Amino acid sequence: MVWVLLGGAIVSEVIATISLRLSEGMTKWLPGVVVVVGYGLSFVLLAQVLKLGLSVGVAYGIWSAVGVSLVALIGVTFLGESLSWVQIGSVAGPTAEIPSAVNQNVAVKKINPTNNPAKMTTKTTFVRSAQIR
């Protein structure tokens, strides 16, 4: 369920960001409404992901990396934008971190199988915060 919610947060954030481009400085009302609703929904879903126990480093890392990559690809494919080599590197770098973030979450679940921060012991909390760094 956490991954479905995170996917929803990513999709709504990408839709809001593309709508921001289409709103022409928030002068067009329909894309402007989509921006506000999309970002609001994205943060509500991201908050639920964190509430369910996915660590903030993993959730935000995946959310931002996938979001940046999708916005860049949509910009090139549908909005006629171009990518420089610097931009390609900026998209490839965060995207490459996704397997590491997912792997980190798997390690945390092995330490805390319930994935409930309230039930973690002091020792487990220390190990979990050490892994985030």
Q: Which domain holds residue 59?
A: 2-96
Predicted local confidence at residue 126, as pLDDT: 45
Quick check: is 72 in a domain? Answer: yes
Q: Does residue 120 sit within a domain?
A: no
List, for residues 63-95, the tens digit of each pLDDT value.
Answer: 998 998 899 899 999 999 988 887 777 777 766
pLDDT at residue 103, rounded to an integer: 65
pLDDT at res. 114: 64
Structure tokens at 30: 């329909």
DSSP string, 4-17: HHHHHHHHHHHHHH
Q: What pTM was estimated for this model as a whole?
A: 0.70
**Based on the structure, what is the number of domains in the chain?**
1
Nearest Cα neighbor of 108 from 76, 89, 131, 126 is: 131
pLDDT at 124: 46
Q: Kindly state whether residue 41 falls inside one of the protein's structural domains.
A: yes
Residues 6 and 32: beta-carbon distance below 8 Å: no
Alpha-carbon distance of 129 to 133, in angstroms, equals 7
Q: Say if 127 falls within a structural domain.
A: no
Segments of the chain scoring below 50 in pLDDT: 122-127, 129-130, 133
Provide the pLDDT for residue 84: 82
In a domain, 59, yes or no: yes
Decide if 69 is inside a domain: yes
